Structure 1
Amino acid sequence: MSDLEADYVVIGAGSAGCVLANRLSEDPSVSVILLEAGGRDTNPWIHVPVGYFKTMHNPSVDWCFKTEPDPGLNGRRLEWPRGKVLGGSSSLNGLLYVRGQKEDYERWRQMGNAGWSWDDVLPLFKRAEDQERGEDDYHGVGGPLTVSNMRLSRPICDAWVAAAQNAGYPFNSDYNGPEQEGVGYFQLTTRRGRRCSAAVAYLRPIRDRANLRIVTRARTRHIVIEDGRATGVAFRDGAGRDRVARVRREAILSAGSIGSPHILMHSGIGEGAHLKSHGIDVLVDRPAVGRNLQDHLQARLVLKCNEPTLNDEVRSLYNQMRIGLKYLMFRSGPMTMAASLATGFLRTGPQVETPDIQFHIQPWSADSPGEGVHPFSAFTMSVCQLRPESRGEIRLKDSDPESYPTISPNYLATETDRRTIVEGVKIARRIAELPPLAGKIREEFRPGPDVRTDEALLDWVRNSATTIYHPTGTCRMGVDEGAVVDPRLRVRGVANLRIADCSIMPEIVSGNTNAPAIMIGEKASDLIREDAAR
């Protein structure tokens, strides 16, 4: 059944896919189809900032992936939430707007990726942005994506920022500005107290364009490739029918760092021996597909407090009702809270030129989002290594496109990764010993006072650390023959096919990945339109 046809077919309505659907359909002379495996973003919890407590691990909007047992984590498996809904993971993430360091993009360019230096990508970040603070050399106004200041403050987070300054770390009011290093408060993708997902920012204003068709409950099975060219996208619709969306110009794969390599492999693009082992015909032998997987691993220290925290505020039904009413009436209060309030981008020592660890400071504590807060007053210091050396992989489980792939992150596989995360925990402890934070802490709950040596700390990390939800790199961009896409994001070996999502990152950025994903969508749309004009 080939009843769908368009100039461009975008696979995946996540952060980059929403951008592409918007930008490509700006030209009324072209037609665009956007295919999304999940449904529409009608769940009300998606649009409440703190709603990630309700949407993560909810199979109606979350793919609910799970890793293989990881040797670096003493054989533990981790849950890897990924958005399965319009907006993708931007509809259930922690709303934190972080671009990374300019040096990240300079390294991409130094690898040969022309057009991806800091000077190249900064205008794209600014074009996407409607910055509450106003326009300057680093920020834009009038773009689709609203970026706001924190609407909530809590004394425990303010005390952490002050203690970190007492430890010698500078205050930085804008880590997305000239320098990332320092401590301060997060910027958020919110608009007047509501989540500004990629779907809200880029799809909602243009969903009635005559040349744009958004198809939800459309699970891509493979890309149709004929004579070395992508000519269509085979998918299964919500009624269980197998259909094909025909492509006149290009197919753009924006299914994320798990979905994009998975779809490529089922389309015959990947490591030949691996595809053959699952009975898939090899069209392009590209061993890099699914490899180069990177993620930020977080160690979460929990400290009990001698004063109330958000744990206490949300414990009683009366307080929950009061918080809900405050949000309904004023779009303020705890329901406007992002995943973290305060942050720090710090260096573990003088041997490091730019920050190599990031802190997420939360005025609450829990085992994981969606499981409820701890039954005592506490807050969380989460620390992650920004540039892990460890590399994992995505592989097929079998020949069924609807089977989940195997995810092997390979955390803590190098000495640098192990040393950096342990040093991050030690820095967290040093900050906790300084005023005014020290006076608010009753005791360290995790890892606990008995965990003192570097070896014991590393073992605690292995037994407790978890993902901070930033999988990247599995369809690496590069100029070498082994790369999956070239610097114009064209898939090597197949015409009319590009990839635009965080899977193209040759190295993970030094920070949260949603803002870079949107930038990649902006960049891809420019590249596609430039090539079409030629």
Structure 2
Amino acid sequence: RPNLEVRTGARVTRVLLDGDRATGLEYVADGVLQQVHAPQVLLSGGAINSPQLLMLSGIGPADHLRSVGVDVVHDLPGVGGGLQDHPLVPTIWHVRSGESLFRGESPAGYAQWFGARRGPLTSNLAEAGLYTRSDDGLAEPDLQYHFLPVKYWQQARVDPDVDAFTACAVLVRVESRGSVRLRSADPAWAPAIDAGYLTEERDLEALVTGVEKARDIAAVGPLAKVLAEEWSPGGTRSTRAELRQSVRDTLESLYHPVGSCRMGTDADAVVDPQLRVHGIEGLRVVDASVMPTLVRGNTNAPTIMIAERAADLVRADLGARSALAQA
């Protein structure tokens, strides 16, 4: 397309501003600091990098920006706040039958994969799932499960020498919030990320119930005939107090961060309903960071919808400018 240029190997360092208007971006490519200018800038760095770029550009909580040596251009307190993510807790059993997905790593399994793109090696690991409630009084499900015929442990580290089965309880109605903050005015420094997991008591209690429900599922019918001893949290941990500690010890991320540049009209909002950064002309944020709260499921499709809506908004703006120019 003649109107599209993709620059790879480039790291954006800040938004260029002329007063309260965005005029372009500064970036590093091949070790050289460069600039690009445009009438409108769309940030799509995600829930971690978009707030980082805004703050590096002087847009964010004024006291925090000053504390790391960034000149304040626009005091916008909500930038980097409100971070949410889907936490998960795995419950893991050894498999009595001696069969698991890793038995697919065999000559027969490789033959199926390379010959016909079929067989166990086509698995995405999460072979089944469900939604349920941690409390029958809830109007909507707050727990999602992924069932995997492997040992899913410590950020997807798996043990190929052990046949195992994992039930991951994922909290999809999250109340806890965290933050993204600068550690330095140097763009090369990664930001400080505090996901805020389990800072709300309700989130912890829901995941404890999630482990209990996983055990209930494992104790029923055909599945009970396949599973052997519980590896984590371990059959000796049975009280809610013990499970609370186990949840804290084994909690992981499902990698769905949102909310750090959230949409709204209140004082803590970062973008308006048209995705425009409050107080700055010509600057939009277009990614999952604008979600006010987490959806009760994966964030990929909603993020695509945000991008589609942004495209409509940009086209509408261009059309309005063209009409004014011709008037």
Shorter-chain TM-score: which interval?
over 0.9
User: How far apart are the structure 2 equivalents of 1:417 and 1:439?
Assistant: 32
Q: Which of 142, 148, 163 matches 1:356?
A: 142
Q: Which of 101, 109, 127 matches 1:310?
A: 101
Aligned to 1:220: 12
Within the alignment, does 1:243 sit opposite 2:34 as a pair?
yes
Runs of 4+ in 1 over 4 A off after TM superposition: none
- Structure 1 range deviating more: 514-523 or 395-404: 514-523
Aligned to 2:323: none
Aligned to 2:46: 256
Given that 1:311 and 1:365 are in contact with CA atoms closer than 8 Å, whether structure 2 keeps it comes out as no
Once the two structures are superposed, what CA deviation does each residue of 1:203-260 show, in whole Å capped at 9, x if it has no partner? xxxxxx12211101110000001131111100000x101011111x311000000000
Once the two structures are superposed, what CA deviation does each residue of 1:312-331 show, in whole Å capped at 9, x if it has no partner? 333xxxx1x54344223222
Q: Which amino acid aligns with 1:375?
A: D
Task: Please state how far the C-alpha of 1:373 moved relative to its aligned partner.
Answer: 2.4
Q: Which of 293, 312, 317 matches 2:83?
A: 293
Aligned to 2:159: 373
> 1:518 and 1:339, CA in 2 relative to 1: closer, same or farther beyond 3 A?
farther
Aligned to 2:183: 397
Task: Please state how far the C-alpha of 1:362 moved relative to its aligned partner.
Answer: 0.7
Aligned to 1:19: none
User: How far apart are the structure 2 equivalents of 1:285 and 1:261?
Assistant: 13
Within-5 A mapping of 1:470-481: 470-481=256-267
Given that 2:84 and 2:257 are in contact with CA atoms closer than 8 Å, whether structure 1 keeps it comes out as yes
Supply the RMSD in Å over aligned alpha carbons.
Answer: 1.4
- Structure 1 range deviating more: 493-502 or 334-343: 334-343
Given that 2:125 and 2:150 are in contact with CA atoms closer than 8 Å, whether structure 1 keeps it comes out as no
Given that 1:303 and 1:444 are in contact with CA atoms closer than 8 Å, whether structure 2 keeps it comes out as yes
Aligned to 1:267: 57
SS in 1 for 2:80: coil
Task: Please state how far the C-alpha of 1:365 moved relative to its aligned partner.
Answer: 1.1
Aligned to 1:462: 248
Once the two structures are superposed, what CA deviation does each residue of 1:329-356 show, in whole Å capped at 9, x if it has no partner? 2222233222412110111222100110
Task: Please state how far the C-alpha of 1:451 moved relative to its aligned partner.
Answer: 0.4
SS in 2 for 1:401: coil
Q: Which amino acid aligns with 2:89?
A: A
- Structure 1 range deviating more: 332-341 or 278-287: 332-341
Given that 2:148 and 2:167 are in contact with CA atoms closer than 8 Å, whether structure 1 keeps it comes out as yes
User: How far apart are the structure 1 equivalents of 2:154 and 2:73?
Assistant: 42
SS in 1 for 2:112: helix
Q: Which amino acid aligns with 1:275?
A: L
Given that 1:268 and 1:282 are in contact with CA atoms closer than 8 Å, whether structure 2 keeps it comes out as yes
User: How far apart are the structure 2 equivalents of 1:277 and 1:472?
Assistant: 25
TM-score of the superposed pair, with normalisation by structure 1? 0.58
Q: Which amino acid aligns with 2:35?
A: V
Aligned to 2:68: 278
User: How far apart are the structure 2 equivalents of 1:416 and 1:358?
Assistant: 16
Name the count of aligned residue pairs. 319
Given that 1:294 and 1:388 are in contact with CA atoms closer than 8 Å, whether structure 2 keeps it comes out as yes
Task: Please state how far the C-alpha of 1:372 moved relative to its aligned partner.
Answer: 3.8
SS in 2 for 1:212: coil
Q: Which consecutive residues of structure 2, in runs of 5 or more, have no partner in the other structure? A: 321-327
User: How far apart are the structure 1 equivalents of 2:186 and 2:109?
Assistant: 46
User: How far apart are the structure 2 equivalents of 1:250 and 1:266?
Assistant: 18
Q: Which amino acid aligns with 1:211?
A: N
Percent sequence identity is 39
Task: Please state how far the C-alpha of 1:369 moved relative to its aligned partner.
Answer: 5.6
Q: Which consecutive residues of structure 1, in runs of 5 or more, have no partner in the other structure? A: 1-208
Q: Which amino acid aligns with 1:285?
A: D
Q: Which amino acid aligns with 2:150?
A: W
> 1:293 and 1:523, CA in 2 relative to 1: closer, same or farther beyond 3 A?
same
Within-5 A mapping of 1:320-331: 321-331=107-117
Within-5 A mapping of 1:101-116: none
Within the alignment, does 1:432 sit opposite 2:222 as a pair?
no
TM-score of the superposed pair, with normalisation by structure 2? 0.94
Between structure 1 and structure 2, the one with the greater Rg is 2
Aligned to 1:488: 274
Q: Which amino acid aligns with 2:81?
A: R
Within the alignment, does 1:333 sit opposite 2:119 as a pair?
yes
User: How far apart are the structure 2 equivalents of 1:413 and 1:369?
Assistant: 21
Within-5 A mapping of 1:176-187: none
Task: Please state how far the C-alpha of 1:517 moved relative to its aligned partner.
Answer: 1.2
Aligned to 1:146: none
